[in-house]
Structure 1
Amino acid sequence: MSGPSRRTLARALEALADFADPSPALEQYLTPPEIAAHIAHQARIQGDLEGWTVDLGTGTGMLAIAASLAGAEGVVGIDVDPEALSLARTNAARIDEAGSDGPLEWVRGDATRPPLSPDSDDSAGDLDSDVTVFSNPPFGAQRGNRHADREFLETARSIARVSYTIHNEGSQAFVESYAADAGADVTHAFRAEFPIAKRFDFHTEAEATLEAEVFRIEW
């Protein structure tokens, strides 16, 4: 499946705006354009963009927009925060002239209980069985968010054929164990640097780099 190169995708995604007032409780951080481009590029190579792509906890819209630019047939970005969805819409409009091959829709809802259902009707509320999930879930750094990434995996398991999820360093054993228990396979895994600028009072450095891990799972 042809489409823009990973570098071209990353350059386009660099135009997206970050959160002006991010929520620490929701662990709102900008997904780096390089990581989003890598995921979307890999998904295109694997043929994972031929149905609906659902971005759980879309935030700035980075992963959803990356999927759309990479040629996904249809993309739905879901977030519980209406301000995040407003930003995602603005970001999509910002690079609209870059072009996309499919519809890009935004839905307000809890990403761990998305208002979506697998169905034969191609609409944002009713998805066919060929669903790919993209997600950068909370890493669980904030109180009350521990194991938040597990809930996102559970959602991916319930609606997707394939998922690409970003996790904190050291998550591989957990992700592989969860996938094995679900009868799924982790087919690809790669490390990625996640630069985070000082955004909250509890940050002690001007910028820090987290080591993240990305996994492709066939459910």
Structure 2
Amino acid sequence: MGDRRALETQLAVVAGFENPQARLEQYPTPPDIAAHVVHFADLQGDVDGRTVVDLGTGTGMLALGAALRGPRRVVGVELDAAALDTARDNERRVGTTTPIHWIRGDATRSPLCVHSDGNSETTVLMNPPFGAQNGRRGADRGFLRTASELADVSYSIHNQGSRQFVESFAADEGGEVTHAFGATLTLDRQFDFHEQETRDLDTEVFRIRWT
């Protein structure tokens, strides 16, 4: 098992979105947060030897972080074809030898059919949209539903104050929040409506065990 700081350094080469789309809430997951989530998942035994699925992978940050920690395979699902092209370029930059499958599709209607077997269980990692844009309220609900269908365990990043919603949703789908911790995402200015060059966004990360 590697060091979290070393993982963050490896992920620093991952490029972000060339033309981010506000309607898809395409904000890159910073390397420090990705390293934190992946390292924590690895400590829980949720990466090594498993199938890891990154829903809404964007340019591949979480998927590539997981790929550096010895999973059986990694799958990145993303709706935006341009982002997937960047993810493939990032795979070459990072240099991981883990098999990674980049799939274009809607993470809320996942085209995947992943079954756990005696050799590998499934972990979902994701930084879903928070529903900040008009008409997108509750956008993370669909991602959680897909995670409940695919995974034995999932890790997801949500807006601060989401704990009650996430715990209630998990309970309704036969899951349980086993761990939760705060994380601050430092985001650079990407869209015209952003007034600051950088913004710190307080978030919460949840580990859910699905049954």
User: What TM-score, normalized by structure 2, do the two folds share?
Assistant: 0.94
CA RMSD of aligned residues (A): 1.6
Equivalent residue, structure 1, for 2:134: 143
Give 1:129 shift: 7.1
Alpha-carbon distance in 2 for matches of 1:165, 1:213: 8
Equivalent residue, structure 2, for 1:27: 25
User: What TM-score, normalized by structure 1, do the two folds share?
Assistant: 0.91
Equivalent residue, structure 2, for 1:164: 155
1:107 aligned partner, one-letter code: I
Question: Equivalences for 1:1-219 in 2 at 5 Å?
Answer: 3-49=1-47, 50-96=49-95, 99-100=96-97, 102-119=98-115, 130-219=121-210
Give 1:218 shift: 0.1
Give 1:120 shift: 6.6
Alpha-carbon distance in 1 for matches of 2:135, 2:3: 39
Contact 1:55 1:64 survives alignment (8 Å): yes
Give 1:183 shift: 2.4
- 1:163-209 C-alpha deviation (Å, 9 max, x unpaired): 00000011011111111222211111111111111111111111111
Give 1:20 shift: 1.7
Which runs of 4 or more aligned residues in structure 1 lie more than 4 Å from their structure 2 counterparts after TM superposition?
none
Seen in structure 2, the aligned counterparts of structure 1 residues 142 and 151 have a Cα distance that, compared at 3 Å, is same
Alpha-carbon distance in 2 for matches of 1:84, 1:19: 6
Q: How many residues align?
A: 209
Seen in structure 2, the aligned counterparts of structure 1 residues 165 and 120 have a Cα distance that, compared at 3 Å, is closer
Contact 2:115 2:150 survives alignment (8 Å): no
Contact 2:116 2:122 survives alignment (8 Å): no
Contact 1:131 1:162 survives alignment (8 Å): yes
